[in-house]
Amino acid sequence: MNKTLIGFNKIKTDYIAWENAVPHRVLVCAGTGCLVNGSMKVYEEFVKTIKEANLNVIVELKDEEGDVFVSKTGCQGFCQIGPLVTILPEGIFYTRVKPKDVKDIVETTIKKGDILHRLLYIEPNMLKVCKETSEIPFYQKQRRFVLGNCGMTDPEDIREYIARDGYVSAARACKDMSPEDICRTILASGIRGRGGGGFLTGKKWDMARQQPGDKKYIICNGDEGDPGAFMDMGIMEGNPHSIIEGMIIASRAIHADEGYIYVRAEYPLAVKRIRKAIKDAYTLGILGKRILSSDHTFNLQVMEGAGAFVCGEETALIASIEGKRGMPSPKPPFPSQSGLWGKPTVINNVETLSTIPLILSVGVNKFREMGTENSPGTKTFAITGHVLNTGLIEMPLGSTLRDMIYGVAGGITSDDGKPMADGFKAAQIGGPSGGCLTKEHLDLPIDFDSVKEAGAMVGSGGLVIMNKNTCIVSVARFFMQFTQSESCGKCVLCREGTKQMLVLLDDIIEGRATEETLKILEDLATAVQKGSLCGLGKTAPNPVLSTLNNFRDEYEAHVKYKYCPTGKCKALTKFTIDENLCKGCMLCAKKCPVNAITGERKQVHRIDPIICIRCGACIESCTFGAIKGEKL
Amino acid sequence: METLRKFEKVWEIIDQNGRDSSRLIPILQAVQAEYRYLPEEILTFIATSVGISPARVFGVATFYSLFTLKPKGKYHIRVCNGTACHVKRSMDLHNALQKKLNLRDEKDTTDDMLFTLETVNCLGACGLAPAMVVNEEVYGQLTPERANEIIDDIINAEAHNEQDTHRL
Amino acid sequence: MNENDFLIVDNKEIPIEGEQNLLELIRKAKIDLPTFCYHSELSVYGACRLCMVYVEGMGLVPACSTPPSPSMNVKTNTEDIRKMRKIIVELLLANHSQSCPTCQKSTTCQLQALARRLGITEIRFKNQSKNIPVDDSSPSIVRDPNKCVLCGDCVRICSEVQSVGAIDFAHRGANTMVIPSFGKDLDKVECVNCGQCARICPTGALTPKSEVDEVWKVIHDPNKMVVAQIAPAVRVALGEIFGMEPGVTTTGQTAAALRAIGFNRVFDTSFTADLTVIEESNEFIKRIQKNEFIPQFTSCCPAWVKFVEQYYPEFVHNLSSCRSPQQMFGALSKEILAAQTGKKREDIVVVSIMPCTAKKFEAKRPEFIHDGVRDVDHVITTQELGRMIEEAGLNFRELDPESFNLPFGFKTGAGVIFGNSGGVSEAVLRYVTEKLTGEKRESYEFTSTRGENGIREIKISLAGKEFSLATVSGLGNARQVLEKIKSGQAFYDFVEVMACPGGCVGGAGQPVFTNPVVRQKRTKGIYENDRMLELHKSQDNPYINELYTSFLGEVGGHKAHELLHTGYKSRKRIADEGMSLSSSDGEQTIEVNVCFGTGCFLKGAQKLLRDILVHIDTEQLGDKVSVSASFCFEMCEKGPVIRVGDKVIEGCTLEKAALAIEEERQKVLGDKTVNSMQ
């Protein structure tokens, strides 16, 4: 046994011994979601309260002296009901914990070992009280593999990562495996890039490995820009060492001695935790020269993004690291041939890299037991929108949309958050680059190939669920506006094409469109999809094309009959006052900016459709629900 | 000697980054952290120091949305308009704040330089949509009313500070 | 790749012969694939998407960035491709100023040509063009952002070929623009006016600034004597506007056209080029003898001169002090014609016809303005002359050839080859060889100065001494050479630089061209001109010799210096205010301004500034002194330079600065005391 492993073993045995000696551990979720809800105050309150209760509190595990060990963890995924607190060893899972609740928890649970029922999670569909995460459907139906340690460990403590067998895979890769071995293993695992395209990671590595030259780079793409997706943020905040370990393995596989983690600047906490993790890894000889007692050298640094979605595209990301405008360049040459500073470069997504050490530790066969033949493993998703439970989840690839929506997310809700049976309309998968899936796709296995066949893409894993009251044209417009404002402006099709698509969608929503408009929109979308320079441009029309494909009727209603079936497009709505409901309170008349509403006090009011500009202010003002939008 | 300190800081930043044009983005980030925006003359200075044309530095500074060439207000409000927040009507928050602060799309900073209002694509706080961030502080599950209250609190606190300084 | 490798383009086998991309190969198949952003001389950009082709097994790919490989099956006109091209052009047109008939680029605009070629009869998209102000601040180039298609050709030629980078992309997405830094006007930034951006611009977004109206005005003024001078490179390109082949000499028709338009005299800039050869060669011989300011740099090209002034102030004295042939002509002709005709200097109007946009800037340099009158009043480009000929309704091709006026219309071949890169060096060699050896030579050609390479080195042995010359075209190449000279990696006695690739024949004022073959034909035409003339060496020009005897006196003498030479100084790259570092709020403020230009920076301005600021702090002068940094006092060789009040201190140290501040303070105090006593 060599020096490093002896060192690691000591860290591990010490840590576990100390951990076992402390009777209680309190895990306070310190992911972005819970922090927003004030979990830091909860954490501080725990430290203070435990001290005041004359118990010996420790916040960093250094020896066996202590009664309660209080830790901050990464995101546990169920941000909606945060701040989340878990009490070990019982595994009691408290939700919506406020600082004022801390005293109760210390008195009841830590001191007496009793459960504080008012803080437990109540499953809203069955009204079942859940003591542990294993009883909660949101967690039950998931397979938390990559996210396994997220939320259960302190991401800022490298010793805890090592204690959970961290860096063992990296040490093995650096000492006992040849670069060919590593590439072969990763290829055999069948893992595909979790960032978007779903390219075989092993193949990507092997291509870079075979490139001549002694200078190569490995880059971790943490520029997670899809609005509504925060899977990578969860991993970067919750388990930063797993990314570093994945990068070490990748660097060994392709002979790279330098790496970058490119993190989106909007994630300050992720940047902070990764920087700390890198620093700690250097201290223990996990990064730097002759790492992990092998002859492999690997240096790693963080580069913060500066606010450009397009930098998620490989060549744009490289340009950004080189200090340039983040504009993509044509491929070929591919980064694996000529990337950063013209050297062979592998760019992998956060989740992919985080999965790598696990593949080496559980073995290829075990890994392939999860997921499907061509899409093995698990995938994280950020499920949001009109569902009961929103948050960060992880599923085996090949799970169905139904599993996710009705199993994990607890079903569809109405706009005001109430359960809505049979309310499902569509799911936008893959963010602004993805497409929409409908009812007929509910039992489609969600894997890279099936989703692509259905005209969408797994992408990085954003999953927005929409209920029946959602206007699909407006949804397409929202995504189009996003890609349009994030287009880098380099190639004509994306720059001008997305701008004109937005104009056409506005025409449809605002009642100026003709049937010709739909034809132009479709032609243009197809041209942008086929002809744009980079992945962002090529996928920008997907939301339009897939909604046109799946909800053509709804588009046609807007165009032919100037009618929005959901009533969401105000310009296509005629506002009327229900005579039976109007109390003549005059509020709407006051709110109307153009004085289109007339009527005496206590008399039914009327809206003059010629003056009305359909702003909807009256609907919002009416407390009796008397004003309705109707088909024009 | 506040300005000396700041200027020394610019030197320090450029030196720390090895006068290397590939370090342009970290240099700009650090300078913006110091000045809260990127003053034109400093950009020219950076260009000269790292040996690239000022037009290129300007090009980089205007490409990334986190860089700003205009001074921002003391309180930088960013309303999240990521998908989750958008679905939960985050634009209502934005519009309410615009109205409250008397701002428009073309005018994002108040005349007294107290507030700047912008939207941001995703803060990653999707579970708490709709969300907004004021400087470093994130607020979740907001309503237009609650957002207005947050602004009122800041305005009141500022007024108090003002009074205190006068009293001193 | 094998010799027999080929691929198929539209059902035809095309051999692969080392082409880097499909686009070159498709062109070889005689198919003109549309593109805005591909130029063999620039890096591959891949933005216009017009060159998309279908490759079996790969789908639609951009031809410009796809390397050819054997047995590829390429289709260039599938339905998808045709649809896409139309959509692209329609998208561009929908974002374009709709002023085509009145645009300077009308008929040579590639967007217009493509719209016609693709049969676009309607634009299905709504017009989104914004009305952005046009920047006509520069004397050379007009920038109209409303016509920009963002192909980036100008940005790349300015930085990649010229290493200037005066314009670049700014902002993002639909707001992207090509602009000078901070959106300043073009005349406020480091643009050297070479106009290569305007040459390569496919639309009317960057165009040479027209002076046609001013020229018509003086022609119509009966009190003015309007004199034309035609630069060498114009004669082999003007015909292109009228459908003639590039390189065909049109000297006779040009003279006839100018007279028909109303010019009173038609002269040849090649005459003063001959004069330049004599002055510049003698200056060179003197420098060699004194071993001073070697290498000597040519100074005929105003873009190159501004380049040196901006970026290499330490080399300004290496530039030949000779004025360019254009400026020699202006000064000389006004002087002599005024004496001959009795007209006032301001009533003799010199109009140059140049292949160049920088010449417009040169004519407006303050050094060449005397008593408010410019030596050269107007500079029009080859393109502008073409437009005047068209406006006058002249059938250019059919005009009976006429000759130039004497004496300034008589030249030798040495004066004509100035139009080519390498021409000045060759002309100087034709003179210097005879001058140094004292022998007449039968032959006159020095072909080693010729060629397509941007940097050519020539070694020559004369009168027992080895001489090393470099001829350079393109300012990026010039920068390379200068850096080598600076670092001692290279040594030259004489360096010729022309800013435009290939020299003046490739100037931005020439008829629009993008294919380098056009330029090569013009180059050939110039050398043919030389061969056709009776005389080839400037020293053999009888009118030049006559000019020295009767008017100028000695070569390099007093009169020659007054009319034919000038000086250069370092120049700020960007006009702007300094950066305030410490401002006092006291009533009587002493302004201290520290230069932070490149020269001073290298000479320790940073430490000096820091020392000064610390000094002010420790001496508690913070309320009396304001400190700012600015970017160039244009005295780089004497750096570090600071200014205290009105006083400029060269080679400044902290002691000198402290002393000056103290003196200034005493002065201010003195003023105060005087004031209070009153």
Q: Does the distance separating the beta carbons of A227 and B140 come in below 8 Å?
A: no
- More confident position, A614 or C248: C248
A89 has a pLDDT exceeding 80: yes
Domain extent, residue B49, equals 2-63
Q: What is the pLDDT of residue B122?
A: 80
- What share of chain A has pLDDT > 70, as a percent? 99
Look at residue B150 and tell me if it is in a domain: yes
Check if the beta carbon of residue A319 is closer than 8 Å to that of residue B25.
Answer: no
Range from A120-129, A273-282, A290-299 carrying the lowest mean pLDDT? A120-129
Confidence of residue C193 (pLDDT cuts 50, 70, 90): very high
pLDDT tens profile C458-491: 999 988 899 999 999 999 999 999 999 999 999 9
Look at residue B69 and tell me if it is in a domain: no
Say which CATH superfamily domain A15-136 falls into. Glutaredoxin (3.40.30.10)
- Determine the 3-state secondary structure of C290 from DSSP: helix
Q: Does the distance separating the beta carbons of A308 and B124 come in below 8 Å?
A: no
Q: In the listed set B63, B85, B115, which residue is the last one of a domain according to the structure?
A: B63
Range from B89-103, C197-211, C494-508 carrying the lowest mean pLDDT? B89-103
- Listed residue (A47, A69, A49, A48) closest to A58, CA to CA: A69
Range from A479-493, B74-88, C239-253 carrying the lowest mean pLDDT? B74-88
Q: How many CB pairs under 8 A join B and C?
A: 88
Nearest CA in chain B to C614: B4
ipTM given for this complex? 0.90
Is C283 catalytic? The answer is yes
Best mutation site among A311, A315, A338, A492 for testing chain C: the one with the most C CBs within 10 Å?
A492
Which listed residue (C19, C240, C283, C496) is catalytic? C283
Say which CATH superfamily domain A158-367 falls into. NADH-ubiquinone oxidoreductase 51kDa subunit (3.40.50.11540)
Confidence of residue A618 (pLDDT cuts 50, 70, 90): confident
- Determine the 3-state secondary structure of A317 from DSSP: helix
CATH code for the domain of B141? 3.40.30.10
pLDDT tens profile C287-302: 999 999 999 999 999 9
C674 has a pLDDT exceeding 60: no
Q: What is the pLDDT of residue C676?
A: 53
- More confident position, A97 or A627: A97
Check if the beta carbon of residue C169 is closer than 8 Å to that of residue A324.
Answer: no
The chain C residues in contact with chain A (CB within 8 A) are: 44-49, 52, 59-60, 62, 64-67, 80, 83-84, 87-88, 91-92, 94-95, 124-126, 128, 149-150, 152, 169, 171-176
Look at residue B68 and tell me if it is in a domain: no
Q: Which region, left, alpha or beta, applies to residue B36 given φ > 0 means left and ψ of -120 to 50 means alpha? A: left
Best mutation site among B6, B9, B52, B58 for testing chain C: the one with the most C CBs within 10 Å?
B58
Cα–Cα distance between A112 and A118 in angstroms, integer? 16
Nearest CA in chain B to C185: B55
Best mutation site among C78, C124, C127, C153 for testing chain A: the one with the most A CBs within 10 Å?
C124
User: What is the average per-residue pLDDT within A114-133?
Assistant: 90
Question: Which stretches of A552-616 are assigned E, i.e. beta strand?
Answer: 573-577, 597-598, 606-607
Is C197 catalytic? The answer is no
Q: What is the pLDDT of residue B70?
A: 87
Q: Kindly report the CA angle at C170 between C166 and C176, in degrees rounded to 5?
A: 130
B1 has a pLDDT exceeding 80: no
- Give all strands of the β-sheet with A378-385 in edge-to-edge order: A391-396, A378-385, A462-467, A424-429, A435-438
- More confident position, B17 or C589: B17
Contacts of C401 (CB under 8 A, 6+ apart): C251, C252, C253, C255, C256
A6 has a pLDDT exceeding 80: no
Q: What is the pLDDT of residue A325?
A: 97
Same domain for B54 and B96?
no
User: What is the average per-residue pLDDT within A308-318?
Assistant: 94
Number of helical (H) and strand (E) elements in chain B, helices listed first: 7, 4
Which listed residue (C211, C240, C280, C309) is catalytic? C280
Confidence of residue A628 (pLDDT cuts 50, 70, 90): confident
Confidence of residue A1 (pLDDT cuts 50, 70, 90): very low
Task: Pick A384's closest partner by Cβ from B25, B84, B123.
Answer: B84
CATH code for the domain of B26? 1.10.10
Chains that touch A (3 or more CB pairs under 8 A): B, C
Number of helical (H) and strand (E) elements in chain A, helices listed first: 25, 20
Which CATH architecture group holds A473-560? Up-down Bundle (1.20)
Look at residue B43 and tell me if it is in a domain: yes
Is C636 catalytic? The answer is no
C69 has a pLDDT exceeding 70: yes
Nearest CA in chain B to A321: B22
pLDDT tens profile C514-532: 889 999 999 999 999 999 9
Q: What is the pLDDT of residue B6?
A: 65
Average pLDDT of chain A, as a whole number = 92
Chains that touch B (3 or more CB pairs under 8 A): A, C
Same domain for B150 and B87?
yes
Q: Does the distance separating the beta carbons of B44 and C631 come in below 8 Å?
A: yes
Cα–Cα distance between B143 and C54 in angstroms, integer? 52
Q: What is the pLDDT of residue C587?
A: 63
Could you give all domains of chain C from N- to C-terminal order, each with its CATH number? 6-77 (3.10.20.740), 87-208 (3.30.70.20), 268-328+358-377+404-564 (3.40.950.10), 577-669 (3.40.30.10)
Highest-scoring range by mean pLDDT, B42-56, C76-90, C650-664: C76-90
Confidence of residue A400 (pLDDT cuts 50, 70, 90): very high
Q: How many residues does chain C have?
A: 678
Q: Does the distance separating the beta carbons of C171 and B43 come in below 8 Å?
A: no
Q: What is the pLDDT of residue C585?
A: 60
Look at residue B125 and tell me if it is in a domain: yes
Which listed residue (C147, C209, C334, C359) is catalytic? C359
Question: Which stretches of A278-422 are assigned E, i.e. beta strand?
Answer: 299-304, 345-349, 378-385, 391-396
Task: Pick A384's closest partner by Cβ from B22, B83, B121.
Answer: B83
C677 has a pLDDT exceeding 70: no
C210 has a pLDDT exceeding 50: yes
Highest-scoring range by mean pLDDT, A144-153, A568-577, C348-357, C364-373: C348-357
Domains in chain B, number = 2
Q: Does the distance separating the beta carbons of A36 and B140 come in below 8 Å?
A: yes
Is C362 catalytic? The answer is yes
pLDDT tens profile C92-128: 999 999 899 999 999 899 999 999 999 999 999 999 9
Give CATH for domain A570-631: 3.30.70.20
A462 has a pLDDT exceeding 70: yes
Phi, psi of C50 (to 5 degrees): -80, -20
Same domain for B45 and B99?
no
Q: What is the pLDDT of residue A192?
A: 96
Same domain for B55 and B129?
no
Which listed residue (C51, C154, C300, C301) is catalytic? C300
Average pLDDT of chain C, as a whole number = 92
Q: Does the distance separating the beta carbons of A492 and C84 come in below 8 Å?
A: no
Cα–Cα distance between B104 and B155 in angstroms, integer? 19
Q: How far is B9 from chain C (nearest CA, A)?
A: 12
Q: What is the pLDDT of residue B83?
A: 79
Q: Does the distance separating the beta carbons of C597 and B55 come in below 8 Å?
A: no
**A165 membership: H or E segment, kind and range:** none
Same domain for B79 and B157?
yes
Q: What is the pLDDT of residue A259?
A: 97
Q: What is the pLDDT of residue C582?
A: 63
Which listed residue (C367, C452, C483, C562) is catalytic? C367
Same domain for B46 and B90?
no
Same domain for B79 and B154?
yes
For chain A, the domains span: 15-136, 158-367, 378-470, 473-560, 570-631
Give A146-161 as a DSSP string.
TTTTTTTS-TT-HHHH
User: Same CATH fold, A473-560 and A378-470?
Assistant: no
B163 has a pLDDT exceeding 80: no
Q: What is the pTM of this model?
A: 0.90
Best mutation site among A39, A223, A266, A341 for testing chain B: the one with the most B CBs within 10 Å?
A266
Residue holding tokens 């330029």?
C519
Residues of B in contact with C166 (CB under 8 A): 53, 55
User: What is the average per-residue pLDDT within B143-164?
Assistant: 87
Cα–Cα distance between B21 and C479 in angstroms, integer? 18
Cα–Cα distance between C327 and C332 in angstroms, integer? 8
Q: What is the pLDDT of residue C675?
A: 54
Look at residue B70 and tell me if it is in a domain: no
Same domain for B111 and B135?
yes
Q: For the domain made up of A378-470, give the CATH fold.
A: Ubiquitin-like (UB roll) (3.10.20)
Confidence of residue A417 (pLDDT cuts 50, 70, 90): confident
